[in-house]
Amino acid sequence: MKTDVLIIGGGPGGAATAMFLVREGIKPVILEQEEFPRYHIGESLTGEGGQVLRRLGFEGEMTKREHPVKHGVRVFGTTGQNSWYVPVSARDKEWNLSFSTTWQVRRSDFDTMMLKEAETRGATVMRGTATKPLLADDGAVRGVTVRWPDGKSEDIETQIVLDCSGQATFLANQRVTGPKYVGSYDKQVAFFSQVTGAVRGPGISGEDAKDNTLIFYAKKFHWAWFIPIDGDVVSVGMVTPRADFLAKKQTPEEFFRNELYDINPEVRKRIPEMNLVEKVHVIPNYSYQVRGFCGKGFICIGDAHRFIDPIFSFGLTVTMREAEFAAPLVREYLEGKRRNGDNPFAEHQVFCEKGIDNLEDMIDLFWEQPFAFATFVYHRYPDQLTDAFAGRIYPTEHQPSPAVVAFRKMLKRTREYDQDVYSVPIGSRFHPERAALWEPNSPVATTEQWMGAR
Amino acid sequence: MEIPQKLKEYIDNNRGSLPPITDPDEPLQIDSLGLIRLVAFLESDLGYRVEDEELIAENFATLRRLGELLATKTPTAPTAEAKASAQEGIPTFSAKRET
């Protein structure tokens, strides 16, 4: 089988990529191994994530489907007595700031809507699992081997593979990309489920809006989230260091039920009874960064190359924004441009890296110096931080902003962008700056060892 | 370092039901959001500039620590813009409210 563009993964990254490609006149094939609808975590969009959906023409459909409307994020401090609030915001062409809204989504519904719509608009969706990349003599990706549900395998030849496989990081695991580095938030475990009967805000807009995201901060690396996903159900999750979980010797559900209220006094007020309507899911070691995630015949999008920390809900937004950025480049590639040099998408790669690096500096400062961070949000750089929280993080969006510059100064960090796409990134816990975070008894001493032989 | 009277009053009035501080080494017992308002008060009402690197809770732990921090600084005239922020006690975004 042959197609110009093969997208691996039919989640929102793959579906958004397909819809932006259709706008460029390209009809891709999407390969998805699971039957939709299926459960997935990552239920909150930031402001710019909502804008991507509006540009794709989904505003009416999102309203019709009654996805909860998010006006902002409220973060409760340790005692639960106080909170700070960041509104969802937008910028117009003149960069004037305005308050805006975005959505919370039940991923099984949202992802199905996105994938079906991609198909309606011209993409071909096929059930199957990518098992192996096909490489040309010069290392370019020229397709993948696919295993169909009946067990038979087939090679699909393409001009370009777009890896939207999420945390499965297909091309990275197949060593097509540069190394996949363990991130600095790899020692936490996220436990999450869904509850009914939760107490939402009393308002219809602003800080008390009923469908806002709530974050309950406990202490470094201990926190919980509260994300309404429909009229009845709220997604609730808790993040703790893995060592705390292992020490208790409980099942994930026991641990979740026993520990959630201890995160913050506000949790019990918001979730008076733990009526779980979904099993307790667990994701350990979720933090990683793939180097060299673009190259001849391939681009990795969203979680397929990097995930830092779920704290501020950037996942869906980043993956859909990267989809939008990549689509015109894919068209140019198919038109025969960008075929010279080692990496036809080198600029795109640095552009995406810079955006997520800005996020990483923000998240790192939040964890390392919460008081300074909150002072920045509250007092020093409120506008610049609404930009970052909305997902306006890219070089074309007045970034790095004075707030990000201040983060770096406080983290004593400089960011350099050269041609070396294999060096240990700052976000890796093996970076010298992270030495203090190393686990004393880790069985793995180096990222190279963790990676295995290349 | 002498603590300005206005600052001592501000702190004493923002410790919930706790009595006024008498010992310079007594913990201020102001929570993190209270400390942010304290920083805003120092900058907006008293004209001290607190550097980003100084935004660590330890610098605001006691009157003595706070005095040591301020001893390095010369206050300037407070700005009208910053003043509004401290008085409202909530973040002041330049954005327009959604309609």
> Which structural domain, as residue segments, surrounds residue B47?
5-17+24-87
CA-based end-to-end distance of chain B:
49
Q: Which of residues 9-38 of B touch A (CB under 8 A)?
A: 31-36
What pTM was computed for the model?
A: 0.90
Q: Considering only alpha carbons, which residue of chain B is nearest residue A373?
A: B55
Which of A372, A374, A382 lies closest to B93 in CB terms? A382
**Cβ of A101 and B36 within 8 Å?**
no
CATH of the domain at B76: 1.10.1200.10
The helix (run of H) or strand (run of E) holding residue A153 is: strand A153-157
Q: Identify the CA nearest to A406 among candidates A385, A425, A427.
A: A385
* CA A432 from centre of chain: 25
DSSP annotation of A207: G
Residue A275 forms beta bridges with which residues?
A196
For A14-76, give the DSSP string: HHHHHHHHHHTT---EEEE-SPSS---S--B--HHHHHHHHHTT-HHHHHHTTPPEE-EEEEE
Q: In chain B, how many domains are there?
A: 1
Do the domain assignments include residue B83? yes
Exposure of A103 in the CB half-sphere (CA atoms within 13 A): 25
Asked if residues A122 and A27 have their Cβ atoms less than 8 Å apart, the reply is yes
Question: Would you call A279 helix, strand, or coil by DSSP?
Answer: coil
Q: Which residues of A fall below an 8 Å CB-CB distance to B?
A: 71, 77-79, 81-87, 89, 97-101, 205, 369-372, 374-380, 382-383, 386, 406, 409-410
Kindly provide the ipTM of the predicted complex, given to two decimals: 0.82
pLDDT tens for the 454 residues of chain A, in order = 999 999 999 999 999 999 999 999 999 999 999 999 999 999 999 999 999 999 999 999 999 999 999 999 999 988 877 788 999 999 999 999 999 999 999 999 999 999 999 999 999 999 999 999 999 999 999 999 999 999 999 999 999 999 999 999 999 999 899 888 888 787 889 999 999 999 999 999 999 999 999 999 998 889 999 999 999 999 999 999 888 999 999 999 999 999 999 999 999 999 999 999 999 999 986 788 998 999 999 999 999 999 999 999 999 999 999 999 999 999 999 999 988 788 999 999 999 999 999 999 999 999 888 889 989 988 899 999 999 999 999 999 999 999 999 999 998 888 988 766 666 777 776 665 553 333 444 444 444 444 444 3
Residues near A166 by beta carbon (within 8 Å), at least 6 away in sequence: A9, A11, A13, A302, A303, A304
Pick the CATH number of A5-61+106-181+290-345 from 3.30.70.1290, 1.10.10.60, 3.40.50.300, 3.50.50.60: 3.50.50.60
**Cβ of B31 and A375 within 8 Å?**
no
Tell me how far apart the 2 most distant CA atoms of chain B are, in Å.
50
Do the domain assignments include residue B96? no
**Tens digits of residue pLDDT in A139-172:** 999 999 999 999 999 999 999 999 999 999 999 9
**Domain boundaries of chain A, sorted by first residue:** 5-61+106-181+290-345, 188-284
Do the domain assignments include residue B71? yes
For A98-135, give the DSSP string: EE--EEB--HHHHHHHHHHHHHHTT-EEEE-EEEEEEE
Do the domain assignments include residue B95? no
Contacts of B79 in chain A (CB under 8 A): none
Q: Is A54 exposed, middle or buried (0-12, 13-18, 19+ CB in 10 A)?
A: middle
CATH architecture of the domain formed by A188-284 = 2-Layer Sandwich (3.30)
Rounded to 5 degrees, what are φ and ψ at A114?
A: -65, -45
